[in-house]
A and B are shown apart, each in its own frame.
Chain A
Amino acid sequence: MKRKNWVVMITVIFFLIGAMAGSAAALDEIRIGTIGPITGWATIFGQGNLNGIELALDEYNNEFNGVPIKIVSEDTKADVEVMRTKLDSLKNRDKVHLIIGPSLGHEGMAAVDWGARNPEVPMLIGYSAPEDITMRKATNSVVRPGWTGAQVIFNFGQYCAKDLGYKKIIIVGQDYSYPWDQAAGFIRGFLENGGEEVKRVWHPVEAVDFSSIMAKLLGMSKEYDAVLNNSGGAQVVAFFKQWKQFGLDKVYPQILGQANVPIVSMLSELGDSSLGVYSSLHYYDGNPSAANQKFRESFKKKYGHYPDVIALQGYDAVHVAFKAMKAIDGKVDDPHKFIAALRQVRMSADESPRGAFYFDKYANPVQNIYIKKVVKKDGRLMNEAVKTYTEVSQFGPYADMAEKYMAAPATTRDYPPGDKASYFKEIEKYFGKDYVENLKKNNGWTD
């Protein structure tokens, strides 16, 4: 009897304890769940988002019309299975009225899938950028006050071809879907506006030794005009260092960066080697608007350093939520009304540090895209806007033919093709002959 009964006993005890867990909470508060990677390699994204959320809530004294706001924050460890479980926890255990997050690409895809199955929980996506969250997989309850990877870089391709006058560009990036998407958006803008060729060089996600790539870039410098670095985190820092070591700064004009290459947190690590780097995003830290100055200074006061676009995402999400709550008199108990109100929110340039924006019918913002350049101001490195494209939707220049855009094949590591001839063959197939004729006639996109 002794030998085996303990197994059964423990099972029973375990179940009794478990059955007691998971009771509902009270009703006289507004509960907001946040979700994102707070531990592991992606901490910077989850924690940044959370910092932004807390800062914005401070501005409202953590209450709405006297009703206290309770934040329940959960960690995903950048694992979508964990995230799904935590989303279920937020819904069933904490009975939250709104979820803000997640921050990573694959997390966002999993979150929108969860949202489609739980249409009664409003969700505001954080920094997560895959376009399908608000395109092919878009669902009513999921609103993204953020950006898509391609949205912010279409115009950068255009800028490099038209304003900088480059013809051939090499993209060096980490070999996974986010950089692939960035490259795809860039290629569209670049080739359709007079660029000839974009060559993609992919390296393993964790690589920090780029000597073979540098040697290759050195050899290709006669044929190509510029290099676009399309990595993230430690890989960018290593790339910039070796770029100088191999003397590539003497053969190429300057590095071009993908959307979040010279973000604020990275500038201090890159130092002066980041001077002159061009990139594009829906936010730039040098924005002189009152909203941005307030955001930056109060963030610095609370956390001791300046915020970047990741924190902005959480900050804006809270303001969007409050604007929607105002519209429905704080009746967050009715999720469908709340969702409808969220989708109607229009932010002005006084309210958001990034400038004005509103949501398209798929609930992704239509917003300004800034071409930015790293400069030194008052002894500090920051991004300045050199050109602004206003009211850019997630479909970029294809806003009128969203259906066709969504019918084209999904991006892969080598789709769409990077040379002009085969690229035009592809777009003729999906966007039609007229579109290609127009491009040729107008010499690219019309601003």
Chain B
Amino acid sequence: MQSTSKTKATLLLASLALMIAVPWIASDYFVMMCIRVMYFGMLTLSLCFLAGELGVVSLMQASFFGISGYFIAILQTQYQIPFPIPPLVGIGVAVLFAALTGLLVIRVQGIYFLMLTLVLGQLVWALASQWASVTRGDSGITDIFAPVIFGISTEKSKGAFYLFELVIFSGVLYFLWALKRSPFGLMLRGIRDSESRMVMLGYPVAFLRYVAFIFAAFVASVGGVFFAYFTGLINPHSVSLTANVETLLSGILGGIQTLFGAILGTAILKILDLVLSGITHRYLLIMGILFLIVVMFAPKGAAGALQRLWDSVASRSSRGIMSVAKRASDDS
């Protein structure tokens, strides 16, 4: 058992080291892809957190993502407010918006939750596209520049931007991971599995769901910060229904109930999109077929399928490994 946790730690450290080394060993192009996967990953994470822990599907996570982006854009380009105030205000407003809308949506479940979040999400989109004096309508706001952090301009150095985002991304991931394992997370799972039982046991069910909704919004809004800084622009498309549905698709593709599935799904969708579209104009067809295959043959998403594959390979070879390990320990 001891050797297991040791290998696990080594592997984890190795992959972490690999991720940190990316700006030095990989091309600019690959760094850009990683940056993109991480900010969209946070958006998908927020959706998958709600789906996995509350059992509801939200169609407004991109709104929180976009709200923080829009606030950064407006504060920075129209009021010239220096970093780090715009992102903090952006996240704050997104969380506040979640606190308000949460009061509405948290009462309902299933299809009604989907519909309510759809309506609220579209409301944000309409506001972004119609309130032209503030949001500049469909043209969107451009000229957002990434900040200077510790004397390094993340606008000029994509590597620095990547590392900074990696730190925050890992933090968010750890936050969700810890949340899932905390008493709070267990209570949420209890609600998901049997709400009436949790009510009977005296848990403040509505309040717990409400808090979970706000946490999810927070994660999405953090993603929005990096989105706005990296692309340097924001327009209504980022809060549109398309954006929300694409998030849902990434979640389903990767495996909607796990955190790793969220990231894997985003990575597959966003990278495939980029690679395939360079090869053929019919790339959406290929992606559609892929999506169909995943839904039909891997209901737990790509992450679930890969896990099953790994399990079967590991169990077949584990006997061999065990005997090798035993001999090794005998030798020492």
State the A residues within 8 Å of B (CB).
1-2, 4-12, 14-15, 18-19, 21-23, 38-39, 72-75, 78-82, 84-86, 88-89, 92-93, 105-106, 109-110, 112-114, 117, 130, 132, 137, 175-178, 180, 410, 412-413
Contacts and interface: CB of A to CB of B under 8 A. Distances in A.
B132 interface: yes
A86 B143 CA distance: 18
Interface string B127-170: 00110110011111011000000000001000000000000000
Contacts, number: 150
12 contacts: A12-B15, A19-B25, A22-B29, A74-B277, A80-B235, A89-B29, A92-B29, A106-B140, A106-B235, A110-B231, A113-B142, A180-B137
Contacts of A23: 27
B196 interface: no
Interface residues of B, number: 59
Given A10-B264, A22-B30, A137-B142, A413 B233 contact: no
Contacts of B18: 11-12, 15
Nearest to A412: B132
Interface stretch (B49-57, B97-105, B306-314): B306-314
Given A19-B25, A19-B26, A89-B29, A79 B237 contact: yes
A39 B4 contact: no
Nearest to B273: A82
Interface in B271-288: 271, 273-275, 277-278, 281, 283-284
Interface string B11-36: 11011001100100111111011101
Q: SS class of chain A's interface: helix, strand, loop or mixed?
A: helix
List of 8 A-B pairs having minimum Cβ-Cβ separation, nearest first: A6-B310, A22-B29, A113-B142, A2-B314, A22-B27, A177-B137, A1-B4, A19-B26
Nearest to B276: A75
A180 B131 CA distance: 13
Contact of B138 (A82, A93, A105): A105
Max chain A CB contacts within 10 Å: which of B14, B278, B307? B278
Nearest to A130: B139
B274 A89 contact: yes
Nearest to B137: A177
A113 B232 contact: yes
A106 B139 contact: yes
B222 to A, nearest CB: 17
A89 B314 contact: no
Contacts of B264: 10
Contacts of A89: 29, 274, 278
A21 B275 contact: yes
A1 B8 contact: yes
B142 A110 contact: yes
B315 interface: yes
Nearest to A205: B129
Contacts of A105: 138-139
A414 B205 CA distance: 48
Max chain B CB contacts within 10 Å: which of A23, A81, A82, A105? A81
B281 A75 contact: yes
